[in-house]
Amino acid sequence: MTDCLGDGAGDMTPMDLYEKLTSQGDTVRTLKTEKAAKADIDAAVQLLLKLKVDYKQVTGQDYKTGCPPSECAVSQDNGPAADGEDMVDPWNVSTTNAKGVDYDKLIVRFGSSKIDQELVDRIERVSGQKAHRFLRRGIFFSHRDMHQVLDTYEKNKSFYLYTGRGPSSDALHMGHLIPFIFTKWLQDTFDIPLVIQLTDDEKYLWKDLSLEDCHRYTMENAKDIIACGFDINKTFIFSDLDYMGASPDFYRNVVKVQKHVTFNQVKGIFGFGDSDCIGKIAFPAIQAAPSFSSSFPQIFKGRKDVQCLIPCAIDQDPYFRMTRDVAPRIGYPKPALLHSTFFPALQGAQTKMSASDANSSIFLTDTPKQIKNKVNKHAFSGGKDTVEEHRKYGGNPDVDVSFMYLTFFLEDDEQLEKIRQDYASGALLTGELKKRLIETLQPMITSHQERRKQVTEETVKQFMTPRPLNYSF
């Protein structure tokens, strides 16, 4: 056992040391439980202490059980670190702040980088296109390695996009559209392939749903995704329940990830407990696998080195911190990420929209009348209690849901800024602001519904058939 300390520690990766430490801790506990000889226990403890010193020298962090090094080292901060702080993980988002989650603090907790004006300007220079409103307005606010992706593109090397959806209902709401709207812009702007993972297996494991329902939701959600306008020649949409069994290369990558992530790690990253089914514990590797180009041999012809860029909401980041930690150890490039803020519920920015609460959301199936009623009745207002007070003191656009929604969907920056100023000054009343939002959403959703009607079962089948895409690598 002594060969794992000594001078070799300097050549070990942080994860190697972490796993050695975890194993040595188990050894010490076993020796004590079995009441081994004192000399054996002392030797094991000394080795454990030496490994802890080596670990701190290499990582700059104290060893903590269930809290692996590198990007996963911050993963236990998915939830609130103290009373009153924001809760953000792949299944729960909540805050006590009427303005919503504090995203600057979240960047620090998750260890990502802020999308600053310099990066937005560089995206415009490299792409030759005006930045999408989501970038201009900080809706996509955080990234990992986006500069590296742009470096690759400037050298005439391509990358591909990966995003996804967990299908838990027939209808999508407006919040679900955010990553797809932005991903379509990225696909059009950079002219690159896209893979979209529909995690029907995840929803079966987490929700009280049958496998048949989960798969049916996948097919219905695929129609809404296709209606966003993705290029069928450059887009592959897949169901985990279908593709996992049909693609040996995809499953091989799942197994590689599973071998290199310990149970302690997934407990630390995702908060799994002893009562969680083993399917949940194994699932993160399935969401990781599309990050690697070799998972799609029909698209990338077996290449393992094509860079992946993942646009997603920030609550999905724990999956990809884990993925980025594993990637170099299995011979793949780390995926890059672009993180979005959350689309607020009608009742306010304290929570994201819920597909299970009809009045918290504007659904893509809503009629113009339903949209009008939901906004007028349920959209949280930053206005004052009376017209007189509002005219005198003005409203607060930072907490007003109607204004928040307009920042997502109103294209014209000057119009948006004028609405902000008029509302804050009291010149624009809450009812008038809501009317502006209704007039923006109604044609947008009606247009989406018209496009969705054109999506046939045959179209869905074409998008979801494993095939070469119209791109040369």
3-state SS record for 416-428: HHHHHHHHHHCCC
Phi then psi for 80, rounded to 5 degrees?
-70, 135
Reduced to 3 states (helix: H, G, I; strand: E, B; else coil), residue 273 is: coil
Distance separating alpha carbons of residues 179 and 169, to the nearest angstrom: 18
Name the β-bridge partners of 198.
165, 239
User: What b-and-e string marks burial along 374-383, b requiring 16 or more CB atoms within 10 Å of the CB?
Assistant: bbeebbbbbb
Distance separating alpha carbons of residues 168 and 387, to the nearest angstrom: 42
Read off the DSSP letter of residue 293.
G
Predicted pLDDT of residue 201: 97
For tokens 């924001």, what's the residue? 86
Q: Which among 182, 243, 241, 247 has a CA at the least distance from the CA of 217?
A: 241
Read off the DSSP letter of residue 73.
G
Distance separating alpha carbons of residues 407 and 174, to the nearest angstrom: 13
- Note the helical H segments in 195-351: 200-206, 211-226, 240-246, 248-260, 263-270, 278-288, 297-300, 317-326
pLDDT value at 12 more than 70: no
Q: Which residues are CB-contacts of 152 (< 8 A; sequence separation ≥ 6)?
A: 158, 159, 307
Q: In whole numbers, what is the pLDDT of the chain averaged over residues?
A: 89
In the numeric block, which tokens belong to residue 220?
A: 């219905």
Q: Is 439 exposed, middle or buried (0-12, 13-18, 19+ CB in 10 A)?
A: exposed
Predicted pLDDT of residue 96: 74
Would you say the C-alpha torsion 105, 110, 114, 120 has a positive or negative sign?
Answer: negative
Read off the DSSP letter of residue 74.
G
Predicted pLDDT of residue 79: 40
Q: Which among 200, 222, 220 has a CA at the least distance from the CA of 211?
A: 200
Return the minimum-mean-pLDDT range out of 9-13, 83-87, 250-254, 361-365: 9-13
Contact (CB, 8 A) for 288 and 322: yes
Q: For residue 182, name the pLDDT band (cuts at 50, 70, 90).
A: very high
Phi then psi for 340, rounded to 5 degrees?
-105, 160
Half-sphere exposure of 50 (CA within 13 A, CB side): 17
Distance separating the N- and C-terminal Cα atoms of the chain:
47
Reduced to 3 states (helix: H, G, I; strand: E, B; else coil), residue 338 is: strand
Q: For residue 473, name the pLDDT band (cuts at 50, 70, 90).
A: low
In the numeric block, which tokens belong to residue 203?
A: 């929803």
Predicted pLDDT of residue 217: 97
Give residue-wise pLDDT tens across range 309-360: 999 999 999 999 999 999 999 999 999 999 999 999 998 877 656 665 778 8
pTM: 0.82
Q: Which among 445, 438, 366 has a CA at the least distance from the CA of 402?
A: 438
Q: Which among 255, 253, 241 has a CA at the least distance from the CA of 293?
A: 253
Give residue-wise pLDDT tens across range 410-423: 999 999 999 999 99
